[in-house]
């Protein structure tokens, strides 16, 4: 059974769990009705199933390579990218003024997840362009928008983000790349950047790099950083390509996975660039792209998890091993309780992560459509949870998929291990999951926990309403939300390093509670059906983890430093 995009799962989600009704009532998204939603997801599903999924193994077996300064991508990738571009999928959420569809982020994120499940290495290319499109829409001059956005939206050109340097990873403020004014409105950019996803390739005619650099006399740290647009080929005024810019690919990284995605070390040698946003406003502009990417990376994790689950389920339904422990069983390992436990865990967590991501995307859309600060605060709160829980789920489910395969999961020819290798980096890039958790308990709690408490109030109200229908599940979700509320109150009263010490378990506990609430909604909409059964599994078996996670979150920081740094190796 090849990969099949979960179109029907998304349609159920958008009708019953994270409904798009309020979104459709806004002027901005009034045309995103039920028929449009179904048509978009169905067509995207066909692209994923028929075009992208067949390329999944090509990327792993035939990696991108650098030949005489030219990057060659995996077999079929140029054609696959062209199909994505010609279908308009890159510019789904982009401004129609520049050729975009103007669709909600909710639909864009759903399509991104399906594409990630089909072929994660290839999906990275349009994801990078989408982030750059949003950054330019918000921060670039009109001249840059008019020249670059139509090309990026159409897929004729692609975009990248250049933050990391050998000495400056998460500490972006330590970067050394320089930007010198050239007196004609352009800047000479010099420096080296590493880990640049799709930094060069042969799937489109130009590559547009967003590069963080420091102007002469700018202060140290992140406050002194500016953002520049540096294209591979310098465009003429009419959008045609001119001379090659002074930049090159030094090498391609040798990676654990994602072999089909060319990850480049880039060198800029007085390359011509244009300022995006104000001087020393680089981090604000780049965060626009990074927040877009954090939602997208969370979706990548969920997509990989869905694909790994489908692969494991297919194997389990065919593999015969031992005697069936259940009367009238299938005769395959699907009959065995532990295999069922793994598959149910995989399916339940994929649903929870997908629904949390959809909730975040809808909050982004509502904030954009209404300008309501409460919706924007909700989106900001959920973004680090989506990124961390989505990618953690991708890693855990993919690893569990290897386990379901048993010994065959360790054999590369089955393809099970590829999901685990490919998805592993998602917990690292766009801010490690530890940084996401620190962001949640730090910056996102600067309101005293108000946004978090408002969300928990909604969960408790929904649980109260469900007591008459599914009392046992409703009570469990209510109690979990109340425990999380109490821990949130405790957390915001602590000094920052105490918060950081418990940040990761706190974020995971928050995700567990959100997942329980969203499973509860699914159960109410499918009483007596398979979605209620899945909700019962999640709420009875996985949700209780929140208690130990919250205990961990409140343990403080002292014991983390009880062993001196020099004694850690003892």
Give the Å distances, CA to CA, from 398 to 185, 205, 453. Answer: 49, 35, 33
Q: Please report whether residue 63 resides in a domain.
A: no
- Of 186, 134, 120, 128, the closest CA to residue 157 belongs to 128
At residue 100, the pLDDT reads 96
Q: What is the pLDDT of residue 220?
A: 86
Structural contact between residues 466 and 520, judged by C-beta atoms closer than 8 angstroms = yes
Query: Quick check: 317 pLDDT over 90?
Result: yes
CA separation for the pair 469, 480 (Å, rounded) = 18
Give the pLDDT confidence score for residue 1 in this predicted structure: 56
* CA–CA separation, 504 and 421 (whole Å): 22
Strands 233-235 and 225-231: unpaired
Q: Residue 544 belongs to what domain range?
A: 444-559
- DSSP H or E run through 271: strand 263-276
Q: What is the pLDDT of residues 147-167, one digit of tens each?
A: 999 999 999 999 999 988 988
Which among 149, 127, 131 has a CA at the least distance from the CA of 140?
149
- Asked, for residue 504, whether it belongs to a domain, the answer is yes
In a domain, 62, yes or no: no
pLDDT above 80: residue 173: no
Interior angle at CA 515, CA 551 and CA 362, nearest 5: 125
- pLDDT over 90 for what percent of the chain? 89
d(CA 391, CA 420): 11
Q: How far is C-alpha 92 from the chain's CA centre?
A: 16
Tally of domains within the chain? 1
Q: For 479-483, 553-557, 563-567, which range has the lowest pLDDT when averaged over its residues? A: 563-567
pLDDT above 90 for 66 = yes
Q: State the first-to-last Cα distance of the chain, in angstroms, to the nearest integer.
A: 50
Q: Per the domain annotation, does 23 fall within a domain? A: no
Residues in the chain: 570
Q: 539 in a domain, yes or no?
A: yes
* Three-class DSSP labels, 439-462: HHHCHHHCCCCHHHHHHHHHHHHH
CATH number (domain holding residue 507): 1.20.120
Confirm whether 472 is domain-assigned: yes
How do residues 244-267 score in pLDDT, each as one tens digit? 999 999 999 999 999 999 999 999
Tell which residue, 21, 50, 49, has the closest CA to residue 37: 21
Active-site residues, by number, are 430
Write down the pLDDT at residue 17. Answer: 98
What is the per-residue pLDDT across 405-427, written as a single tens digit (0 to 9) for each?
Answer: 999 999 999 999 999 999 999 99
Answer yes or no: is 554 within a domain: yes
Query: With bands split at pLDDT 50, 70 and 90, how would you rate the model's confidence at 146?
Result: very high
Q: pLDDT tier at 504 (50, 70, 90 boundaries)?
A: very high
Query: pTM for this one?
Result: 0.96
> pLDDT tens digit string along 343-354?
999 999 999 999
Q: Is residue 460 part of a domain?
A: yes
Per-residue pLDDT, averaged over 217-240, amounts to 92
Among 1-10, 109-118, 255-264, where is mean pLDDT lowest? 1-10
In this predicted structure, what is the pLDDT of residue 287?
A: 77
- What number of other Cβ atoms are within 10 A of residue 514's Cβ? 27
Q: What is the reported pLDDT for 170?
A: 72
Q: E strands within 166-262?
A: 178-181, 187-197, 206-214, 225-231, 233-235, 241-244, 247-252
3-state SS assignment for residue 228: strand
Mean pLDDT of 59-78: 95
Cα–Cα dist 301/295, whole Å? 10
């Amino acid at each position: 059974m090849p990969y099949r995009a979960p179109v029907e799962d998304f349609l159920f989600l958008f009708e019953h769990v994270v409904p798009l009704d309020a979104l459709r009532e806004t002027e901005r998204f009034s045309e995103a009705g039920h028929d449009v939603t179904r048509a978009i997801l169905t067509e995207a599903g066909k692209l994923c199933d028929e075009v992208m999924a067949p390329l999944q193994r090509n990327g792993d077996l035939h990696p991108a390579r650098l030949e005489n300064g030219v990057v060659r991508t995996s077999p079929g990738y140029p054609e696959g990218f062209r199909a994505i571009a010609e279908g308009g999928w890159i510019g789904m959420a982009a401004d129609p003024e520049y050729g975009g569809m103007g669709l909600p982020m909710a639909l864009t994120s759903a399509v991104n997840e399906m594409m990630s499940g089909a072929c994660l290495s290839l999906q990275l290319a349009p994801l990078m362009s989408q982030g750059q499109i949003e950054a330019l829409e918000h921060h670039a001059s009109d001249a840059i928008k008019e020249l670059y956005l139509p090309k990026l939206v159409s897929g004729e050109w692609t975009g990248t983000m250049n933050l990391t340097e050998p000495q400056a990873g998460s500490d972006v403020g330590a970067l050394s790349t320089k930007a010198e004014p050239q007196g004609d409105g352009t800047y000479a950019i010099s420096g080296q950047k590493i880990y640049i996803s799709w930094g060069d390739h042969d799937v489109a005619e130009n590559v547009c790099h967003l590069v963080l650099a420091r102007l002469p006399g700018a202060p140290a740290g992140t406050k002194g950083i500016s953002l520049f647009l540096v294209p591979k080929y310098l465009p003429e005024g009419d959008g045609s390509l001119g001379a090659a810019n002074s930049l090159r690919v030094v090498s391609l990284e040798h990676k654990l996975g994602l072999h089909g995605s060319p990850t480049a070390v880039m060198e800029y040698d007085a390359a011509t660039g244009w300022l995006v946003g104000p001087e020393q406003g680089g981090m604000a502009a780049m965060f626009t792209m990074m927040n877009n990417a954090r939602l997208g990376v969370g979706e990548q994790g969920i997509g990989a998890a869905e694909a790994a689950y489908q692969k494991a389920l297919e194997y389990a339904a065919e593999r015969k091993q031992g005697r069936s422990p259940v009367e009238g069983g299938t005769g395959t390992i699907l009959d065995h309780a532990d295999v069922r436990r793994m598959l149910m865990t995989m399916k339940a967590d994929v649903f929870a992560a997908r629904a949390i991501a959809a909730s975040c995307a809808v909050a982004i859309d509502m904030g954009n459509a209404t300008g309501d600060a409460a919706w924007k605060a909700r989106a900001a709160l959920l973004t680090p949870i989506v990124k961390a829980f989505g990618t953690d789920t991708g890693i855990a489910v993919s690893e569990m998929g290897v386990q379901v395969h048993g010994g065959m999961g360790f054999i590369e020819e089955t393809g099970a291990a590829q999901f685990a290798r490919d998805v592993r980096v998602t917990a690292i890039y766009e801010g490690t999951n530890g940084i996401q958790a620190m962001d949640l308990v730090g910056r996102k709690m600067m309101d005293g926990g108000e946004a978090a408490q408002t969300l928990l109030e909604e969960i408790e109200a929904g649980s109260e309403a469900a007591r008459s229908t599914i009392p046992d599940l409703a009570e469990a979700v209510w109690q979990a939300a109340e425990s999380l509320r109490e821990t949130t109150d405790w957390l915001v009263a602590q000094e920052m390093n105490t918060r950081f010490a418990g940040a990761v378990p706190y974020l995971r506990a928050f995700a567990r509670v959100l997942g329980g609430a969203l499973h509860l909604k699914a159960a109410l909409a499918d009483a007596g059906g398979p979605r209620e059964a899945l909700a019962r599994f999640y709420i009875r078996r996985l949700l209780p983890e929140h208690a130990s996670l919250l205990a961990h979150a409140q343990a403080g920081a002292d014991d983390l430093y009880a062993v001196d740094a020099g004694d850690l190796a003892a």
